Amino acid sequence: MKFTKLKDSENKMVLTLEEPDDLFSLRRVIDIGDSIIADTTRVIKQDNEYSRPDKGERIKIRIILRIEKISFDDAIDRLKISGVIITSNNENIPKGLHHSINVKINDTIILEKSNWNENYIKILSKSALEFKYLFISIDSQETAIAKLTGTNLKITPNIHSGKSGKRYVTDQRNVLNNKIYFENIRTALDIYLEEHGIKIVIFGPGETKRRFLNHLREKNEAYQDKDFTIAEGIETAGEDGIYVFLRSEAMKDLMSSSKIAMVSTILDRVMQQINNGEKKYAMGIKETKYAHSLNAIDSLVYSDKVFSEIKEDEFIKLLNDMEHNNVKIYATDSTTDIGLRVSSLGGIIALLRYRIN
């Protein structure tokens, strides 16, 4: 999440959501009675003799909403914020009307609170990403590109070289095919050129990854100052290669400070403890709440599966209480194997500081 204080106001914060975890962070810092400034839409009924009584015009407006209710709207990729309109930029929308805003990834809002306490700032600071990652999983026949933001993964469809694999194809034709193939990959990459703080990791079998990187740097000045790393030991390309890399030791080594590497390490440690019969973990909401009551939790990982075991408001309060105890908290989603693993283990897992009975 990107956040910054609004100029000339100590109480207003501009927030831009970048990944699903940011929705949880936003949910944790909003209180009833706060105000939100956001762009939204509302239907205005036309009151004249020619208008249909059951129709209206949906218009775009900017409003200030005093918040009365916050909840995930049947899915964790959308936060529903309801309340009363204080002001709007349209004279046809008077104050006092009730309205709801759905906040999604990539939305920017302004949140006004009477007091931004230290705990709220800590939650926002932890959600601020130092880097995003772009993965290029490539061999001579296919390539997949994926963007990782926090623990959220978005993969583009495979790009194919059209190479037949037949030995009698001439060297000259191979060079031409490779050039076209590499340019198709570059075109798919160009949409990320303007994004800041992106690290690019290239992997796959053979030497195609190095040839592509050389092509990219030689033919395109825009890529010469980008942060590239070649990862070794991944012998699969395309979309499958992306998932192989995310489960690999190479990922943990290259991205040790990333959120996904930290979560992966926590899960590996829990599984190792299960295999060794060492009970320094809690699994499920009941065990986790008990461990929290003893101030025994070091790190916590959860997915949306946890909401089948505990009410949303109660869980948000639990997370904020843990924040006071300096627990390291990570949300995951189902776009990666890690999120699916957390859900399969009950939706919530905690590493403990010490063994408890």
Q: What are phi and psi of 294, to 5 degrees?
A: -100, 5
Reduced to 3 states (helix: H, G, I; strand: E, B; else coil), residue 44 is: strand
Q: What does the pLDDT profile of the chain (357 residues) look like in tens digits?
A: 899 998 878 899 999 998 888 999 999 999 999 999 999 988 877 665 555 555 667 889 999 999 999 998 766 778 999 999 999 998 888 899 999 999 998 899 999 999 999 989 999 998 887 788 999 999 999 999 999 998 889 999 999 998 755 554 555 566 667 889 999 999 999 999 888 889 999 999 999 999 999 999 887 888 888 899 999 999 999 999 999 999 999 999 999 889 999 999 999 999 999 999 998 999 999 999 999 999 999 999 999 889 888 999 999 999 999 998 999 999 988 788 888 999 998 899 999 999 987
CA dihedral 225, 231, 234, 240 (to 10 degrees): -40
For 1, counting Cβ atoms within 10 Å of its Cβ (0-12 exposed, 13-18 middle, 19+ buried), the class is buried
R_g of the chain computed on alpha carbons: 24
DSSP characters for 215-246?
HHHHH-GGGTTSEEEEPPS----HHHHHHHHH
For 356, counting Cβ atoms within 10 Å of its Cβ (0-12 exposed, 13-18 middle, 19+ buried), the class is middle
- What lies within 8 Å, CB to CB, of 234 at 6+ separation is 137, 203, 204, 205, 241, 244, 245, 248, 250
For 220, other C-beta atoms within 10 Å of its C-beta total: 15
For 141, counting Cβ atoms within 10 Å of its Cβ (0-12 exposed, 13-18 middle, 19+ buried), the class is middle
Q: At what angle do helices 238-246 and 337-344 cross, to 10 degrees?
A: 60
Domains along the chain? 2-127 (2.30.30.870), 132-254 (3.30.420.60), 265-352 (3.30.1330.30)
Do residues 11 and 116 lie in contact, with contact meaning Cβ atoms separated by under 8 Å? yes
Quote helix, strand, coil % in the chain, to nearest 5. Answer: 35, 30, 35
Instruction: Return d(Cα 280, Cα 260) in angstroms, integer.
Output: 21
The residue whose two tokens read 């079998």 is 205
